[in-house]
Structure 1
């Protein structure tokens, strides 16, 4: 991971905040299952150890490495929470608004509440009681956002693997709900399940 992945590089105007949460989501591009966000507050003393253990954007890690880091993050974090937006909410609101809703839910479940949030991406989260800042590619810059990306990814992957047993025929355990060739073939053969996003065009093939 790049060396700037550390709270020591936060802008000076954020040094006044004691508890800063990193927030990230996973599953925006999937065809199946909810969009999932995580919010993580890391104590400053935990960051060096996590960086030494290979903390990085979840997409850069193997599944095993993500799972090991997720356990370490949960152990070291001040708090760590998940927020989801269901398939029905995705179809009703659209995927962007559902993603922001899942982020807000994750943040509001934190105890204690953070003084400030660093949110991956370029979209503000409405309805938060604390100030926040968006960070494009934040999971490559800030430890707390990278940690949130790992927590969200591990949690959602585990959920999809469990759902794969209930919804066979889409190769979900392998693709985690994303639109692979086998997944799309399953959609053509079986139609969409109750956990497919009907507002996404590949799911309208039944």
Structure 2
């Protein structure tokens, strides 16, 4: 097949919204000829798969990959930076690593909830560097493109593993999402910011709502604008 060795690249993250724990971003590249194998594995949006299935699929996906770039972003870094900017910087660094190595990329697919500003940053970078690479930036791209779904599975697998390790150290706080009653119950045992462990994102408005922070946090809703 012509171009079967060209890379198809997918980028996605896991852990954007939780108030507890790291965010994981994954850039995954497979040869075009391997896309069918991803589908045969049963790759789809990681949120629709159980942790057990994600655990089984992650190493199989990794073995098919020509490129895997991973970044683990700690709460303290998220608190100091715009989360969309963090994601955009990862995308640019990953594409630079791939394209500067003169790997031939046929298409890049990115799952991104942010709008035109994010798209402009990525496209302007490619134009500035004279990289002629088609890029698709879409919300819920992990539901449409197997390569993005595969990246999301690895990211979610890493987040799952991270949360399990944190449970061993800090106790069972559930998923870490503000919508999780177990997470809220766990957070409620802290009465002041000085008591908070480093795994908590202090900029999330959840802490103000619980009365833990007296000053207004930046809030997830502002990060996502």
State the TM-score bracket (shorter-chain normalisation): 0.7 to 0.9
Q: Deviations over 1:53-81 (max 9, x none)?
A: 21101011111111111111001111222
Aligned match of 1:152: 155
Aligned match of 1:6: none
Q: TM-score, normalising length from structure 2? A: 0.73
Aligned match of 2:219: none
Report the Cα offset of residue 18 of structure 1: 2.4
Map 1:9-48; keep pairs closer than 5 Å.
18-48=6-36
Report the Cα offset of residue 119 of structure 1: 0.9
Report the Cα offset of residue 199 of structure 1: 0.7
Aligned match of 1:5: none
Of stretches 111-120 and 90-99 in structure 1, the one that deviates more from structure 2 is 111-120
Q: Is the 8 A contact 1:85 1:102 kept in 2?
A: no
Q: Find 1:120's aligned residue among 111, 119, 130.
A: 111
| Structure-2 separation of matches of 1:197 and 1:102 | 20
Residue 138 (str. 1) matches residue 138 (str. 2): no
Aligned length: 188
| Structure-1 separation of matches of 2:64 and 2:76 | 34
Assess, with a 3 A threshold, how the Cα gap between structure 1 residues 35 and 89 changes in structure 2: closer, same or farther: same
Of stretches 124-133 and 90-99 in structure 1, the one that deviates more from structure 2 is 124-133
What residue ranges of structure 2 are gaps of 5+ in the alignment?
213-225
What residue ranges of structure 1 are gaps of 5+ in the alignment?
1-14
Q: Is the 8 A contact 2:110 2:138 kept in 1?
A: yes
| Structure-2 separation of matches of 1:51 and 1:107 | 24
Aligned match of 1:11: none
Report the Cα offset of residue 106 of structure 1: 4.9
Report the Cα offset of residue 148 of structure 1: 0.4
Aligned match of 2:89: 101
Q: Find 2:74's aligned residue among 64, 67, 86.
A: 86
Residue 196 (str. 1) matches residue 200 (str. 2): yes
Report the Cα offset of residue 101 of structure 1: 3.4
Q: Is the 8 A contact 1:41 1:114 kept in 2?
A: no
Q: TM-score, normalising length from structure 1? A: 0.79
Q: Is the 8 A contact 1:36 1:102 kept in 2?
A: no
Report the Cα offset of residue 110 of structure 1: 5.3
Q: Is the 8 A contact 2:6 2:32 kept in 1?
A: no
| CA root-mean-square deviation | 2.6
Map 1:157-172; keep pairs closer than 5 Å.
157-168=160-171, 171-172=172-173
